[in-house]
Amino acid sequence: MTSTDERFMSQTDELAGRVALVTGGARGIGRGIALKLAQAGADVVINYRERKDAAQEVVDWIRGMGRQALAVKADVCHEKQVRRMRDEISAQFGKLHIVVNNVGPFMIRPTLKMTTEEWRLMMDGNLTSAFIVARETVELMKRTEMGGSMIFIGSPNAERVGSQSESCAYSIAKTGVVILALTLARDLGGKGIRVNVINPGFIENDSMTPRMREWMPHEVPLGSIGTPANVAEAALFLASDRAQYVTGAVLNVHGGLWI
C-alpha cells in the first residue's frame, strides 16, 4: 500500500455522485480499484468474505477522503448473501452506478488430478459469483439517470493456455466471464449500462513467492510485474464518462504478456 500522501493526492470529482460496489475490495486488485474510484469522487461499497479488518481499513481510508464507504460481508457465490448485500446498498445509498466483479480464486493443479470440489471452487468462485452479482445488482443500477458501468475482472488465460496448462479450470471459468460480460453488454446497452472486461496479467500480490518474482518479469515484454494501481487506472476509465461509448470491450492490462 502506498503512503498516506500518495493515496490522497490528485483527488477529482470525475465520479462525484456515483456509488460503486467492488467485490473482494479488501485486498489486492479490488482494494486498488476501490481506492482509485474513491479518489475520483465515488462513494464505495467494499465487499469482503473473511477479512473484516482489511475491509474496514479500506473503508476508513475512503472516509478520510471525504467520501462515503460501507463494508459488507457476503460470500458472492451464494445468492441469498448477495441479495442481502444488495439490500444494504439500497438502504444506504438507494442507487448503484458501478459494479466491479473482482472476486476470483486461482489454483494450479494438473487438470485430471483436480477433485470435483476444486473444479467447482474455480467455477463458482470465478464465474457463478460474477453471474449472481450481475443479476442481483442490475435492477439497482437501472434506477440511476447517469447510466451504469459493470466491469468484470477476467484473465489473459481466457485467451490462450500457454504455460498455464495446469490452471485449466480457472481458464475455463475466466473464458466464461468474458462471454458473460459480452452477452450482458448486448443485453443491457439499451438500459444505459455498459459492460466491459479487464484482463490483468502478473499483478503484485501478497501470495507471490520469491521464485515467481524472479521469473515473471522475463515473461512480460514490458519487463516488470504490474501493480493493482495499473488495473485501477483501467477500471476508472471504464467506470467514467470518458468510456461512454465503450461497451463489450476486453482490455488487456498485462504488459504484453503472451503476445
What percent of the chain has pLDDT above 90?
A: 71
**The domain 11-253 belongs to what CATH superfamily?**
NAD(P)-binding Rossmann-like Domain (3.40.50.720)
User: For residue 258, what pLDDT is reported?
Assistant: 75
Q: What three-state secondary structure class fits 48?
A: strand
Is the pLDDT confidence value at 207 over 90? no
Q: Exposure of 146 by Cβ count < 10 A (0-12 exposed, 13-18 middle, 19+ buried)?
A: middle
Q: Looking at the DSSP assignment, which residues form a beta bridge with residue 250?
A: 197
Residue carrying C-alpha cell 471504464: 238
- The pLDDT of 109-113, averaged and rounded, is 82
Domain spans, the chain: 11-253
- Of 80, 82, 25, whose CA–CA distance to 48 is shortest? 25
Rounded to whole angstroms, how far apart are CA atoms 173 and 118? 12
Of 11-20, 159-168, 210-219, which gets the smallest average pLDDT? 159-168
Task: Band the pLDDT of 34: cuts 50, 70, 90.
Answer: very high
- DSSP of 83-130: HHHHHHHHHHHS---EEEE---------GGG--HHHHHHHHIIIIIHH
- The pLDDT of 233-248, averaged and rounded, is 97
User: For residue 6, what pLDDT is reported?
Assistant: 47
Quickly count helices (H) and strands (E) in the chain.
9, 7
Q: What are 133's three cell numbers?
A: 452479482
Q: Looking at the DSSP assignment, which residues form a beta bridge with residue 200?
A: 253
pLDDT tens per residue across span 115-138:
999 999 999 999 999 999 999 999
Of 2-16, 95-109, 131-145, 149-163, which gets the smallest average pLDDT? 2-16
Tell me, rounded to whole angstroms, the distance of Cα 94 from its chain centroid. 22
pTM of the model: 0.92
Rounded to whole angstroms, how far apart are CA atoms 129 and 254? 24
Catalytic site residue 170?
yes
Of 153, 170, 239, 251, the active-site residue reads: 170
